[in-house]
Structure 1
Amino acid sequence: MAFTSGCNHPSFTLPWRTLLPYLVALHPLQPGSAQITVVAPSLRVTAIVGQDVVLRCHLSPCKDVRNSDIRWIQQRSSRLVHHYRNGVDLGQMEEYKGRTELLRDGLSDGNLDLRITAVTSSDSGSYSCAVQDGDAYAEAVVNLEVSDPFSMIILYWTVALAVIITLLVGSFVVNVFLHRKKVAQSRELKRKDAELVEKAAALERKDAELAEQAAQSKQRDAMLDKHVLKLEEKTDEVENWNSVLKKDSEEMGYGFGDLSKSPSQHGRNLWS
């Protein structure tokens, strides 16, 4: 089962289950006057930038509105998008001049459809469809959403570019950090190398000093060896002299012994 929305409008049909969500604006009239209702779909109308779109609404019950006052109003600015009265199109906001058309073929059947050509992203929003017929007044709201594939592509590229820039900046920061760390490590290594070179030079100086001390020790040892040899020679000489002196002492002792014996013998010879 299907419900036909609009007065004799075959192209605007929805399942009967979607009837309840419809926005119906009812305005009570003065006593004794008839009531009218403007019916608009609750489903959002979608379009792509550059396309033509038709915003649909209709009177309930269906009634000829060719001699009525019909206004399409942009809700966020409360300004007229299209104004029709008694078969004449009147003033409208500058942004919509030359881009709107009230579809008059359906006015006799109570249809209030408005065509907007070459829609832009700024056309997105809510529109109020209002009709006044004598003392009777009613309105309903139609929502339009205009998508821009190009702007979405730009958005995707912008996001991708932002990600790439973030990655590049992050990579640059990391590279700078690593470079500074490498430079600091290089400086530290150079400092340690300089310390090692200085220590090696100090060790070489120590080695040279030790070598010099060893040479001096060798010289002293050689001098001591010479002195020992001289002492040994002197000792030998002393021993030789001692031997000579001993021999001489022995010889002299023997002579003295003969001398000591001679006077006694001489005396005895005298007494005999």
Structure 2
Amino acid sequence: MGFTSHCRHSNFSHPWRTLLAHLVALHLLHLGSAQFRVVAPNDHITAIVGKDVVLHCRLSPRKNAWSSDIKWIQHRSAGLLHHYRNGSDLEQMEEYKGRTELFRDGLSDGNLDLRITAVTSTDSGTYICAVEDAVGYAGAVVELEVSDPSSQITHPWKVALALVITLLVGSSVVTIIFLHRKQVAQSRKLSESFQHLPPPSNNL
């Protein structure tokens, strides 16, 4: 079974038809083969922009996967993130060239872990680990969430500006209260002075 390795195509719906066909075949072949399953120990993985991340998958029951056809597929584009077959790495999406590594040391034990280096926010999404060999076909889904801490950091100048505004507002409030109290006191003194004035004379 072949997979598209390019995201761009004149027909926009082509990647989705490819992915749908792949998922249907994956489901049917998985149901038709009781020889093995592909298991994702952690189906939701988080990573930080610029760091490396490892997507974990393994065969169950564990067996040697050296001669298997292993495909890591990006759900969004239906493109090949990484493609391994019989000891060789094959075609993959342009944006992942040089950024992925299948841990071959673990293949003999059924581990299908894939490293993605220097992840970006666009790497967030769903990935499918699909395995085919002489006895069957199976797959598992892994969700990757990439966060960018720098976007959540408040810049120092914003903090300083907020502090200055707070101080200005606070001092304005204090000034207004002071002036109001002063005006009230002056009005009270003026009223008291009027009360102490002698009554007006009635002499004509």
Q: Which TM-score bucket, shorter chain as reference? A: 0.5 to 0.7
User: Normalization by structure 2: what TM-score?
Assistant: 0.60
- 1:28 and 2:28 matched: no
Quote the residue 2:97 is aligned against: 97
Distance across 1 between alignment mates of 2:122 and 2:64:
32
Count of residue correspondences: 133
Q: Which amino acid aligns with 2:30?
A: H
Q: What residue is the counterpart of 1:83 in the other structure?
A: 83
Match of 1:116 in 2: 116
- Structure with bigger helix share is 1
Match for 1:48: what amino acid? I
Report which of the two structures shows the higher radius of gyration computed on alpha carbons. Answer: 1
Per the alignment, residue 61 of structure 2 pairs with: 61
User: Does the 8 Å CA contact 1:41/1:142 hold for their aligned counterparts?
Assistant: no
Aligned equivalents of 2:81 and 2:47: distance in 1? Answer: 18
Stretches of structure 1 lacking an aligned partner (at least 5 in a row): 1-24, 168-272
Does 2:140 correspond to 1:137?
A: no
Partner Cα separation in structure 2 for residue 42 and residue 51 of structure 1: 19
Amino acid of the residue matched to residue 80 of structure 2?
A: L
Gap regions ≥5 residues in structure 2: 1-26, 166-204
The whole-number CA distance in structure 1 between the counterparts of 2:150 and 2:57 is: 30
Question: For 2:31, what is the secondary structure of its paired residue?
Answer: coil
- Post-superposition Cα deviations, 1:155-178, rounded to whole Å, max 9, x if no partner, equal x56xx79xx8xx9xxxxxxxxxxx
Deviations 1:113-146 (A, max 9, x none): 0000111111111100000012400000011111
The residue correspondences of 1:1-272 to structure 2 (distance < 5 A) are 27-29=30-32, 35-153=35-153
- Displacement of 1:35 in angstroms is 2.0
Q: Using CA pairs under 8 Å that are at least 6 residues apart, name the structure with larger relative contact order, 1 or 2.
A: 2
Identical residues among aligned pairs (%)? 68
Q: 1:27 to 1:43 in 2, by over 3 A?
A: closer
- Distance change in 2, residues 1:115/1:42 (3 Å): closer
Structure 1 residue 150: deviation in Å? Answer: 1.6
Deviation at 1:43, TM superposition (A): 4.5
Contact 1:69 1:86 in 2 (8 A): yes
- Measure the CA separation in 1 of the matches of 2:42 and 2:81: 20
* RMSD (Å), alpha carbons: 2.3
For 1:42 and 1:92, the matched residues in 2 are separated by 24
Letter of the 1:77 counterpart: S
Secondary structure class of the residue paired with 1:76: coil
Question: Is contact 1:28–1:35 with CA below 8 Å preserved after alignment?
Answer: no
- TM-score, normalised via structure 1 length: 0.45
Q: Distance in 2 between matches of 1:94 and 1:136?
A: 29
Structure 1 ranges of 4+ moved more than 2 A: none
The amino acid that maps onto 2:54 is: V
- The superposition leaves residues 51-75 of structure 1 with CA deviations (integer Å, 9 ceiling, x where unpaired) of 1111001010001010000000000
